[in-house]
Every structure is written in C-alpha cells, then in structure tokens.
C-alpha cells in the first residue's frame, strides 16, 4: 500500500487526476441529498473514488509506456555526457571546474 501513496505518487499521479475529476466531485457534492442520504448516493460516491484511483493508475501506465518509447528513440535515459571523462565536447580543465563545483554543491566527492 505504501507503494501507491508515497509523496511522488501523490504529487505526480493523484494531483493531476484530482484536477481532472474535480468537476465530477463538485457535481456530486451539489447533487447529493444532504437531508436524507441514501445507499445509492453512497455507492455513487464510492464509485467516484474508485474511478479516481483507477484513472491515476491508467495515467501512470500510459506515461510509463510513453517513457519507454521515448527512451528507445533517444538512446536511453537522459544523462550528462559532457562531464564524462571520455567525452571531448569540453576540455579537461573546464570539466574539472564543473566537477569541483558540483561536488561542492552536493557535498560529495566527484567521481
């Protein structure tokens, strides 16, 4: 269960789905009989919650599929190749300067 409700899932999956389903939630709140609630209204409310989680899961799966396609066409995950020791885009002095700056910012030694 923690896999579904971590901070990333809430920000990247549930928040966009909440924006998409917000009009439906407002409609339910306005159309709900608050004086004498009934079982069908409760079932509809529960169904909306289930659809909310299902929509976020479908959005995640579609995003992962698109990510795989994108990585296949671009040669893999994005990375910073310019600071690689074998790359000749930048001279070694500039690379060392960048590596030292990044090591200082990250408070970790440069590789």
Question: How does pLDDT run across 42-62, given as a tens digit for each residue?
Answer: 788 788 778 878 888 898 899
* pLDDT for position 97: 92
Q: What is the pLDDT of residue 33?
A: 75
Give the pLDDT score at 4.
65
- Answer yes or no: are the C-beta atoms of 110 and 100 closer than 8 Å: yes
Question: According to the model, what pLDDT value does residue 35 have?
Answer: 80
- Say yes or no to pLDDT of 21 above 70: yes
As a whole-number percent, the residues of the chain with pLDDT over 90 amount to 15
Is the pLDDT higher at 85 or at 70?
A: 70
CB-based contacts of 15, cutoff 8 Å, min separation 6: none
Q: What is the pLDDT of residue 3?
A: 62
> Domain extents for the chain?
7-74, 79-111
Where are the strands (E) in 6-80, listed by range?
Answer: none
When the pLDDT of each residue in the chain is averaged and rounded to a whole number, the result is 83
pTM of the model: 0.47
């Amino acid at each position: 269960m923690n896999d579904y409700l971590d901070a990333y899932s809430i920000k990247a999956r549930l928040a966009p789905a909440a924006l998409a389903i917000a009009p439906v939630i407002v409609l339910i709140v306005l159309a709900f009989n608050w004086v004498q609630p009934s079982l069908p209204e409760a079932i509809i409310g529960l169904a909306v919650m289930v659809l909310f989680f299902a929509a976020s899961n479908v959005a995640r799966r579609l995003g992962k599929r698109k990510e795989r396609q994108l990585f296949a066409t671009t040669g893999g995950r994005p990375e910073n190749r310019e600071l690689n020791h074998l790359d000749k885009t930048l001279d070694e002095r500039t690379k060392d300067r960048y590596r030292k700056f990044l090591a200082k910012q990250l408070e970790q030694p440069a590789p």
